[in-house]
Amino acid sequence: MAIARIRKNDEVIVTSGVDAGKVGKVESIDPKAGTAIVKGVNLRKKAVRRSETNEGGHVTREFPVRLCKLMPYDPEKKCATRVRTGEEGGKKVRVSVKSGKTL
């Protein structure tokens, strides 16, 4: 099985679209649909019905972003980076192409 390029709690940057250039943390991933929810990216207003737990009205929340529009973010180089696989202690790990450090 191949190692996933993007995982939960990764720092990613959006490469194209309205939110291009924004950096955020991955909150969840749906590999079957090929989407991820990233904090602070693809914000939309959603109408929510009032209930016992919430007040209702229009709520701003994150909606899914296609995985093809996301790349891992390298905080050391402050840019997007590709990922390659390497070995560390007998286990497969993800390695940043730009800085050479494990993700």
Tell whether pTM > 0.85.
Answer: no
Q: Is residue 44 part of a domain?
A: yes
Query: How far is it, in rounded angstroms, from Cα 43 to Cα 97?
Result: 30
Q: CA 60, 66, 72 angle in degrees (round to 5)?
A: 100
Query: Mean pLDDT over all residues of the chain?
Result: 90
Alpha-helix residue ranges (DSSP H) falling in 26-82? none
Residue 2: pLDDT band with limits 50, 70, 90: low
Decide: 74 and 84 in contact? Cβ < 8 Å: no
Rounded Cα distance, 37 and 65, in Å: 6
Domain-located, residue 66: yes
CATH number at residue 33: 2.30.30.30
For the segment 18-22, the average pLDDT, to the nearest whole number, is 93
Q: Residue 14: pLDDT above 90?
A: yes
Q: Which residue, chain included where needed, has tokens 């899914």?
A: 64
For 56-100, how does the pLDDT look when each residue is reduced to its tens digit (9 = 90+)?
899 999 999 999 999 999 888 889 999 998 898 889 888 988 888
The number of domains in the chain is 1
Question: Is the residue at 63 inside a domain?
Answer: yes
Enclosing H/E stretch for 88? strand 83-88
Q: Do the domain assignments include residue 100?
A: no
**Residue 56 near residue 49, CB atoms below 8 Å:** yes
Identity (one letter) of the amino acid at 81? T
Question: Which structural domain range is residue 47 located in?
Answer: 11-78
Tokens of 100: 């050479």
